[in-house]
Amino acid sequence: MNWRNWLVVPTLVMLTACSSSTQEGAIGVQRKQFLLLPTEQVNAMALQSYRGELSAAKQKGALNTDKANLERIRKIADRLIPQAAVFRPDALSWQWEVNLESRNELNAYCAPGGKIMFFTGIINQLKLSDDEIAAIMGHEMAHALREHGRERVSQAYAQQAGMSLLAALTNINAQQAAVLQTATTLGLTLPHGRGQESEADVIGLEILARAGYNPRASISLWQKMGAASKGAPPAFLSTHPSSNQRIDELQSKMATVMPLYEATKRNPPTSKMIVPRS
């Protein structure tokens, strides 16, 4: 069979998979995304993983034991979640959850479908204010709204399929395939990872501003994160931008989001979503 015929179908599939999972918002995120796999499939896998972490934390007696900080992050979520509708109206129908694991780790995440997890380490070690917690939560929510997890899985799936096809067409050996895999990772996967982080930064910035939290807290947050992560690998070989890079980009967006924040002082947001308490 002519090799061109083998390439036509995968190419058409990849082209039709390009779309955007969110509206632009005031911040103006417009990038088209490669979203090959169904949302439901990715969300189901993420939910299974999230439930596994909840179960493991509960068995260790580490789940939702810090009641004060648990209620604190849930109240912040109550204010942030309604603002997600600016980017995705359907997010209001997600089954949002907010949980807190007692773990000495500087981390938090929002799994696809709105499953939020904070670790006590990031709150306590960095001595976070409510505005800074909102900056983290808005950032992590933005990853879920933009379906960055689905995008990464789609890219990995297409990358593996493409490697298999290329190997079959060119008869490259295993060593050559490994070199090509490394080149693909450095040339494609890592830049996309940094791009996703930048998107989450600016979308999260708008979400927290619309919820009435001070966007400038995102600057102090990354100053704290930068001080806490000295010795991190260079930004070029990381999927995350450096703290200084993030601060520069966030500063460049302040003129857009500060009016949204100031407007909440005159007209405080009235819509809230009460995250389930357990």
Count CB neighbours of 277 within 10 A. 9
Q: Which of 101, 140, 151, 197 is catalytic?
A: 140
CB 3 within 8 A of CB 165: no
140 is an active site residue: yes
Catalytic residues: 140
